A and B are shown apart, each in its own frame.
With several copies, the nearest count.
Chain A
Amino acid sequence: MIASTDASQGADKTAGCAGFQVHLDVFEGPFDLLLALISKHKLDITEVALSQVTDEFIGYISERADGWDLDQVSYFLVVAATLLDLKAARLLPSGEVEDEEDLALLEARDLLFARLLQYRAYKEVAAIFAARMAAAARRFPRRVPLEPCFAQLLPEVLLGLGPAEFARLAALTLMPKAPPKVSTEHIHTPAISVSEQARKLVGMLRECGRASFRQLTADAAGSYEIVASFLALLDLYADDAVSFDQVTALGELYVTWTGQTGNVERPTESDD
């Protein structure tokens, strides 16, 4: 491979990028996290112990959901939902895959794994990029102003940027470098806790037994609250307190209360 020699020389500088690190804070996307969970258990990606990884994945989301931006959370939800489906499929007695739903689950699994494999490939070449960049940075190009006698002969300079792009670049360059990260952004976002949402949902569902997700979130103050509701439902689902049905893909999602009638405490949640 092209970078093999360079990689070893640049290794000290790129160690942070080279391998997975199971510091949970470093994950940027769901694929990142999934891969890390999978590699943490030293599992072949195609033979994942789904239930275990699913549980950890969901656990991680519920811990951190309030600290992410909406985009990230939605992606996480897509992956979480897929994983949940897969976990459900795995619980099916084997040999019963005539059902169309089962087939769909298998397809979803293949798709998820295919994407993960693809992402892993890019992650690996990204590590090669980092090593190559580190090696290239050890060779300094000649970048010296022309001798004055030639400089006056130079043709026009091409900026290659319009005023707006130039301003954007200036803003980026002038932006104070971020201090070592202690993000406090999440403190200022409206505090919607998943457990609070769960309590609310349990109340509503106990009353009506079955409702569409749309109905359940009709009075949500913002998308953040909807996301929190969805996360809460995933938790409730994991605890066998609700079931889902959805007749068509992307169609209305119905939630049915299947839990006890007693007071439900959500033991895994911490208010944050």
Chain B
Amino acid sequence: MDSESGSADARTGSGAASAAGTGAGAGADAGTEAEAPGLRASLEAILLVADEPVPTVVLAQVLERPSSEVAAELAGMAAGYAAEGRGFDLREVAGGWRFYTREDCAPVVERFVTDGQEVRLTQAALETLAVVAYRQPVSRARVSAVRGVNCDGVLRTLVLRGLVADAGTDAETGAILYRTTSYFLERLGLPSLDDLPDLAPFLPADIEDIADENARP
């Protein structure tokens, strides 16, 4: 496996070589400073949770490093993953970087995706879906405002799953609006939107707010 250190990125190679011992050490400059993760680790962490390609400049901003340094590191990481034969792949697509599954792993991933039974929605997705269902047509910003957290990623998932769809743009603001689909009704077992139960009886009387008001944003 040492063979890959002959590749484009010396840093990845040396990181790999030193990996056995230390733990946090392998990143770009982690050596002496104990606490902060290195550039590579930081990029890996961010890209792991990024649900769209992230432009190099955005990464550079978040990490407060020069774009050129970040760009070089990203290229090095991509080469490193390829060299190590990882199942994931870092690609620059549509002006940004994102983790993808490696192409030759596609058959395995397909088997996994189709293998599962029904997929359960996450709690965040259900709540977002509920807001769209009862407030449609509704903009992203509005949904996020209601839930108190940014819902862009969740909305994208709901669109991808066919539960929510584009409903044109707001005449005033130009914001994209969302609505629920007939597939949503089908999954909920309702003939039409008119059959969504009224909210009034469910407005919390005996429900307690279990969220801490002092919670972090």
- Chain A residues within 8 Å of B, Cβ to Cβ: 1-3, 6, 9, 13, 16-17, 26, 28-32, 71-72, 75, 79, 111, 114-115, 117-130, 132-151, 153-175, 177-178, 180-181
Contact = CB atoms under 8 A, between A and B. Distances in A.
A175 B99 contact: no
Dominant SS among interface residues on chain A: helix
Given A71-B149, A159-B188, A167-B198, A115 B210 contact: yes
B197 A3 contact: yes
A71 B106 CA distance: 42
Contacts, number: 279
B130 interface: yes
A16 B146 CA distance: 22
A125 to B, nearest CB: 5
B156 A145 contact: yes
A121 to B, nearest CB: 4
B133 A170 contact: yes
Contacts of B89: 139
A133 B121 contact: yes
Interface in B152-200: 153, 156-157, 160-163, 186-190, 195-199
16 contacts: A13-B216, A125-B130, A125-B197, A139-B102, A139-B103, A145-B157, A151-B160, A151-B161, A159-B187, A160-B120, A160-B126, A163-B188, A166-B188, A167-B196, A170-B130, A171-B199
B2 interface: no
A118 B207 contact: yes
A137 B117 contact: yes
B119 interface: yes
Nearest to A46: B204
Contacts of B198: 1, 167
B186 A29 contact: no
Nearest to B114: A153
A155 B118 contact: yes
